[in-house]
Amino acid sequence: MAYPTDLSALTNPTAGDDTSTVDHAAQHSTANDAIEALEAKVGVDSSAVTSSLDYKSTNAASVDPGHKHTPTTSLVITGTPDGSKFLRDDDTWAAPPTVVDADETTAGSVEEATTAETNAGTASGTVAKLFITPAKLAASIFGLQLPTSDEKDALAGTGTPNTTNKYVTNDDVSDAAVTGKIVRATGTALPALSAINLTSITKLFDFEKAPTDVTGTTAVTIWSKSVGAGLLGTDNVIRVKILLDHFETDNTRTLTLILKYGSTSVATTTLVTGGATNGGASKGGGYIEAFIAADGGTSAQVGRIAAQIGSSNTTTATPSLDGESLTVFTQGGGTATEDSTGALTLSVTGQWSAGTNTLGVEDVVSELLIA
């Protein structure tokens, strides 16, 4: 039969069944087997069979599912339990110990250190154990010495620069365009202050005293200067002013002035003198003015050159414009597509068409205008 691992499926005979349908002896045998299986499962009194119910429920050696014996003495729990009490070993409910004042001297008690005790490093009591809460530690002299959250970020090179995060870190290099940071050069030194790093200012670009006069029929470089890589940027300007101290020609002559940037003659202008001898070694004067400007990009420039020159045969302090006097203004402009991200030369040249002539040059001043 299936029991006790499974329930038995027994056949119940009806009143009309005969022994040929339901075996009478088999019926009694099956019933006997079932009774014996039930007795084995329940067990006899004080059974030693570990699988019997009697053993599992009464034997002291039973472990799983175990048993419960009647105690020799009654267990009586006194007091009223609630969520803030615990059961003591004497069967009573009691409240937990409370945190006592810092002057407690009873052994085994726990006390919270005051701010004064934290600062002093000692407790009023001689026996009780101290603990320090985070709030008391933060308010103590030790907490005030700890870096703030912003200071920790600054020391670690993280966070956002603000009124409390002002520290320079290894990440604050000179090309880090982050508002509020104090930048340094890649290395150990701060970068030299340069007008190229500032905006809306005018800076002296170059000054040259007694540059080259324009004489003869060969092109003469009156002034030239290397313009550093990136100096023009996308909207900066270099302005050049050349002061002239005398002007002398021997006949009708043409003077050609050229502003050159890199390999490009950006702007050209010419002036033609009168037919008679004009000026002299200490007479007349004027100026040449030119500029080169970035036109919204590093490979686009515009330029212009202009000249105003006057001469007179008189040597008075204020020359008169007599029949042989000459005052001329001329100008010209143009564009270039030089790559200003590299260093290029900016120059002004002059050239006479023929004859023996002189354009006396005194000084050259150039300025960098930062947009």
Confidence of residue 282 (pLDDT cuts 50, 70, 90): very low
Average pLDDT over residues 162-190: 53
The pLDDT of residue 313 is above 50: no
102/112 Cα distance (integer angstroms)? 6
Looking at residue 32, the DSSP 8-state letter turns out to be: H
- Stronger pLDDT, 53 or 221, i.e. the higher one: 221
Q: What is the pLDDT of residue 73?
A: 61
Confidence of residue 248 (pLDDT cuts 50, 70, 90): confident
236/200 Cα distance (integer angstroms)? 10
- Stronger pLDDT, 347 or 48, i.e. the higher one: 347
The pLDDT of residue 241 is above 60: yes
Q: Considering only CA atoms, give the Rg of the chain.
A: 55
Looking at residue 196, the DSSP 8-state letter turns out to be: G
Q: What is the pLDDT of residue 315?
A: 43
Burial class (CB in 10 A: 0-12, 13-18, 19+), 170: exposed
Looking at residue 193, the DSSP 8-state letter turns out to be: P
Q: What is the pLDDT of residues 345-360, one digit of tens each?
A: 999 999 999 888 888 8
Q: What is the pLDDT of residue 174?
A: 47
349/255 Cα distance (integer angstroms)? 10
Q: Return the number of other C-beta atoms located less than 10 Å from residue 312's C-beta.
A: 22
Average pLDDT over residues 214-236: 91
Q: What is the pLDDT of residues 148-170, one digit of tens each?
A: 777 777 677 676 666 666 655 55
The pLDDT of residue 177 is above 60: no
The pLDDT of residue 223 is above 50: yes
Q: What is the pLDDT of residue 98?
A: 63
8/34 Cα distance (integer angstroms)? 8
Average pLDDT over residues 203-215: 83
Confidence of residue 78 (pLDDT cuts 50, 70, 90): low
How is 36-89 classified by DSSP, letter by letter? HHHHHHH--TT---TTSHHHHHH-TT--SS---PPPSS----BS---TT-EE-T
272/258 Cα distance (integer angstroms)? 15
Which residues have a Cβ under 8 Å from the Cβ of 21 and sit 6 or more positions away?
13
359/223 Cα distance (integer angstroms)? 13
Q: What is the pLDDT of residues 303-312, one digit of tens each?
A: 999 998 876 5
How is 200-249 classified by DSSP, letter by letter? SEEEEEEEEES---EESSS-EEEEEEEEPTTSSTTT-EEEEEEEEEEEEE
The pLDDT of residue 323 is above 80: no
- Stronger pLDDT, 102 or 361, i.e. the higher one: 361
